Amino acid sequence: MIELRELTKRYGGRVAVNGLTVRVQPGVVTGFLGPNGSGKSTTMRMILGLDAPDRGEALIGGVPYANLTWPLRSVGALLDAGAFHPGRSGYAHLAALAASNDIRRSRVDQVLRLVGLSDAAKRRTGTYSLGMRQRLGVAVALLGDPGVLLLDEPVNGLDPEGIRWIRSLLRALAAEGRTVFVSSHLIAEMALTADRLVVIGRGELLAETTVAELAGRHDTLEDAFFRLTSQSTDYRGTEVS
C-alpha cells in the first residue's frame, strides 16, 4: 500500500502539492489523474524519495522509500523512459540493475519476454523507438518482482497494440495483489484501465473514488473530469468505499 499524509511541496512561492492525503490500496489499478502541471509527477517523485516534501510524508508499506532494504524488489517505477545509457543494450541495462540489487540473472530474460523486447534485447537502447523505450522502462519496473508499481504516463509513445498490452498487463498485476498507481492526463484511457481514481488539481485532492461512481455523476467521464478540475470545490475530498 502507498499512503500519503498531508504531503506538501513548494518551489519558491509556488505550491506544487498541497496537503495531499491518499491511500492507494493493493489489488486494483488506481489512476492518478490531473491536468498537466497539477502535481502528479512531483507527488510520484516524493513517493520515491527523489524530492523531499516540505511537510507530510509518503509511506510504502508503512515506511519511507529511503528505509526500504532492497527498494527495487519492493517498488518498481517508471518516471523517465529515457533513463539509460544509449550505448548500452537493453539486456546489459537490465543485467546491471539485477546484479546491483541481488536479483537473479534469469529474471532479466523473463521481463524482456514479458514486455516484448526479447528480439531487441542486444540492440543499443539509443536505437530504440519511444514505444520500445517505454517497454524497457516497464521491464525495469518489473525487474525486482515488486509488490508496488508507480508508472508515470506509461502509454506515451505506444501504438494501439502497445496501449492494449499495457492496459492488460496493469490489470493482471493488480489481480495478483500488487499496488498499481498509474498517472495520466488521459481520462478516456484511465476509464478503460483503472478501477479507482485519485484526481488532483493545482496540487490538491479533488476526488478519491471509483471510475463507475465518478462517471455516474455526469453524461461522460470526460465531463466529470473537466468539472472537477475547473470547479474543484464540487467534489474535493470525496471518497467512495
Q: Is residue 136 part of a domain?
A: no
Q: Is residue 40 part of a domain?
A: yes
Q: Indicate the helix (H) or strand (E) that contains 179.
A: strand 179-184
Q: Is residue 135 part of a domain?
A: no
CATH number (domain holding residue 58): 3.40.50.300
Q: Is residue 127 part of a domain?
A: no
Burial degree of 241 (CB within 10 A; 0-12, 13-18, 19+): exposed
Q: Is residue 13 part of a domain?
A: yes
Which domain, by its residues, includes 66?
2-82+148-239
pTM score, whole prediction: 0.89
Instruction: Report yes or no: 128 and 154 within 8 Å, Cβ to Cβ.
Output: no
Q: Is residue 189 part of a domain?
A: yes
DSSP 39: S
Residue pLDDT tens, the chain, 241 long: 999 999 999 999 899 999 999 999 999 999 999 888 889 999 999 999 999 999 999 999 999 999 999 999 999 999 987 788 999 999 999 999 999 999 999 999 999 999 999 999 999 999 999 999 999 999 999 999 999 999 999 988 889 999 999 999 999 999 999 999 999 877 888 888 999 999 998 899 998 998 888 777 655 667 767 776 775 433 333 333 2
Q: How many domains does the chain have?
A: 1
3-state DSSP assignment of residue 116: coil
DSSP 233: T
Angle among Cα 100, 76, 28 to the nearest 5 degrees reads 155
Which residues pair with residue 4 across a beta bridge?
A: 22, 58
Grid coordinates representing 196 are: 479507482
